[in-house]
Amino acid sequence: MTTSSLTRATLAKDLRLEWRSKDAINSMLFFALLVVVIFSFSFNPTAEESRQIAGGLVWVAFLFAAVVALNQTWARELRNQVLDAYRVSPAPANSLFLAKAFGNFIFVAVLEALMTPLFIVFYNLRALGPTWQLPVVAALGTWALVVNGTFFAAMSIRTRSREIMLPLLLFPISIPAVLAMVEATSAILSGEYSARPWIALLATYDVVFTTGCLLLFETVLDAE
């Protein structure tokens, strides 16, 4: 089996599991919904104010919700020692990693697609800048979160209190990415300045950390 067919097989398995249980997506959706509602009535912003703060709120909600899905990534494989089976199999570790990262990307992207209409309703949002850049920012930003998130989730399952460990590792490293997502989104919503340097920064972040994860994942998976 080649790397890509292994990735596809693992991804299909994860998607089928998620489709039948809907554990991750349901908990993420409800969590993000709660964040949106609580922020909305604690700030009660006007349309003008919400343009300025929405970039931050949207990404904070997605960041917290993504951690819910990321935490479940590897926990499933611990049951019945599936992860140990992966380790002893000759399958390349990176194909497993990519499958998990793509799976998380799909979960978080579905969450974003479902939550965006809600944000627009609650915050009266209307972009004044180039709207077509928003999906680009969303795709790059989501990948930035899930690629490192998937990697750190693999590290945090080895620790005590693993659920809390993942955000502690992920958030400090993600600071530049979160800043870039928030600023790019605010730039597009307000139309006051260009989002391009931030998009370039996000793309660089994605390239750097995807490379880093692929180079080091095998080391982390085989650690004993």
Q: Is 196 in the site for another protein (CB under 8 A)?
A: no
Q: Is 165 in the site for another protein (CB under 8 A)?
A: yes
Q: Is 48 in the site for another protein (CB under 8 A)?
A: no
- Which positions from 96 to 135 touch another protein by CB under 8 A, shown as an x/- string? ----------------------------------------
| Interface stretch with another protein, choices 13-21, 57-65, 97-105, 172-180 (CB under 8 A) | 172-180
How many angstroms separate the CA atoms of 99 and 7, rounded? 5
Instruction: Give how far Cα 193 sits from Cα of 56, 113, 115, 179, Å.
Output: 16, 25, 25, 15
How many residues of this chain bind another protein (CB under 8 A)? 32
How many angstroms separate the CA atoms of 5 and 147, rounded? 20
How many angstroms separate the CA atoms of 179 and 114, rounded? 23
Q: Is 197 in the site for another protein (CB under 8 A)?
A: yes
How many angstroms separate the CA atoms of 135 and 185, rounded? 10
Q: Is 223 in the site for another protein (CB under 8 A)?
A: yes
Residue of 95, 183, 189, 210 interacting with another protein (CB under 8 A): 183
- Nearest-approach distance from CB 153 to another protein, in angstroms: 12
| Interface stretch with another protein, choices 27-35, 101-109, 114-122, 197-205 (CB under 8 A) | 197-205
How many angstroms separate the CA atoms of 49 and 72, rounded? 36
User: Which DSSP letter does residue 117 get?
Assistant: H
Q: Is 143 in the site for another protein (CB under 8 A)?
A: no
- Within 13 A of 189's CA, how many CA atoms are on the CB side? 25
Q: Is 201 in the site for another protein (CB under 8 A)?
A: yes
Reading the block at residue 216, the tokens are: 């080091």
Structure-derived torsion over alpha carbons of residues 17, 23, 29, 33, reported in degrees to the nearest 10 = 180
38 vs 215 by CB, closer to another protein: 215
Query: Looking up tokens 């085989």, which residue turns up?
Result: 222
Residues of this chain that bind another protein (CB under 8 A): 148, 155, 158-161, 165, 168-169, 171-173, 175-177, 179-180, 183, 193, 197-198, 201, 204-205, 208-209, 212, 216, 219-220, 223-224
